[in-house]
Structure 1
Amino acid sequence: MSTPEFVLALREKIGHAPLWLTGVTAVVVRDADTTDPEVLMVRRADNGAWTPVTGIVDPGEHPADAAVREVSEEAGVEAVPLRLARVGVTEPGVYPNGDQVQFIDFVFRLEWRSGEPRPADGENTEARWCRVSQLPPVQDRIRERLDAGLADDERTAFFADGALVR
């Protein structure tokens, strides 16, 4: 499912007005103990961009649970969260239909447990493991999230006014 029902219900009331949502980015790692681990990447159906799995947190859902759910729904992979790697705010965006949105984004590092990636729900056209040294081209904002999730630093990175604050 690409747009959660609660968002569709809100859009019926507010139209295209800006909507503040909670999102997650799931950086799923396999072979983490090697010098060149694999990370789960998906190619988005809407714009063709390669990203880690991303999604919207449902009302009342814990963000870590949302990350696990999104990985399963979008890529057919089972994973467990290891840590919160980054908290940030995305730039405001406008979808082709005119809907305005902005996200507070929680980036989690997850560890692969089982399953081979596949585009499981229609939101993606491809899903695969990529060695960190051989990632497909990604936007800078996506690379920042990947780097946070892949870092060995156990601290969470927080951002204010676009600058890192710990």
Structure 2
Amino acid sequence: MPTPEYVLKLREHIGHEPLVLIGVTAVILRETSDGTSVLLGRRSDNGALAPITGIVDPGEEPAIAARREAREEADVEIEVERLAWVHQLPRKTHVNGDQVDYLDLTFRCRWVSGDPRPADGELTEVGWWSVDDLGEVASDDLRERIRLAAEGVGEAEFRR
């Protein structure tokens, strides 16, 4: 996955030191006669099955980042309905040694249009999965993001 230019410029100054970035997860849902489906993609870097995710650009509204990532990664248009979860992910050390602390904003989104397809190379496949059958999703954390967004009621979740 290409690293945003502004992150590369920051890395010139801080090297591999921890960098705090804001990430978005777009849990894109679609209602059909068979129930609720969620749009998932298989990541090209590690083969993991996950919802659409990405980094918020400087000055960008997080909900707009979620819409942008849906277009860029899966070629679909979405409506961002609500914030479902705000949580800090454990520090990640990338293969090159870069350390990142991601603050994730998980949004409940509704599919509006477009036939999902791997659009920018970040995903190798994209498709609809039943929210009741998420066993292949890459992690408990990602399954929790989907669960909280799919519930679609109440206020956003904040873990203390």
TM-score band, normalised by the shorter chain? over 0.9
Which residue of 2 is the match for residue 51 of structure 1?
Answer: 50
Does the aligned pair in 2 maintain the 1:37–1:131 contact within 8 Å?
yes
Q: Distance in 2 between matches of 1:136 and 1:66?
A: 27
Q: How far does residue 104 in structure 1 lie from its aligned partner after superposition?
A: 0.7
Counterpart for residue 18 of structure 1: 18
Gaps of 5+ in 2: none
Runs of 4+ that moved beyond 4 A = none
* Alpha-carbon distance in structure 1 between the residues aligned to 2:28 and 2:118: 15
Deviates more, 1:130-139 or 1:116-125: 130-139
Deviation at 1:78, TM superposition (A): 0.5
Q: How far has the Cα of 1:12 moved from its partner?
A: 1.4
Q: CA deviation at 1:136?
A: 4.6
Q: How much is the aligned-residue C-alpha RMSD, in angstroms?
A: 1.4
For the residues of structure 2 that align with 1:50 and 1:43, how far apart are their CA atoms? 4
Deviates more, 1:123-132 or 1:65-74: 123-132
Structure 2 length normalisation: TM-score? 0.94
Residue identity opposite 1:86 in structure 2: W
Unaligned runs of 5+ in 1: 161-166
The AA in structure 2 aligned to 1:141 is D
Partner of 2:66: 67
Measured against aligned partners, the alpha-carbon deviations of 1:88-133 in whole angstroms (never above 9, x if no partner) come to 0000001111110011110001110101111111111111111212
1:35 deviates by 6.4
Q: Distance in 2 between matches of 1:102 and 1:36?
A: 35
Scaled by the length of structure 1, what TM-score is found?
0.91
**Contact (CA 8 Å) 2:84, 2:152: kept in 1 or not?**
no
Question: What residue in structure 1 maps to residue 151 of structure 2?
Answer: 151
How far is 1:152 from its partner? 3.0
Distance of 1:35 and 1:159 partners within structure 2: 32
1:27-46 equivalences under 5 Å are: 27-31=27-31, 36-46=35-45
Count of residue pairs brought into register by the alignment: 159
| Partners of 2:15 and 2:88 in 1: CA distance | 22
Contact 2:108–2:152, Cα closer than 8 Å, also in 1: no
Q: Distance in 1 between matches of 2:12 and 2:35?
A: 46
Percent identity, please: 52
Q: Which residue of 1 aligns with 2:112?
A: 113
**For the residues of structure 2 that align with 1:58 and 1:152, how far apart are their CA atoms?**
26
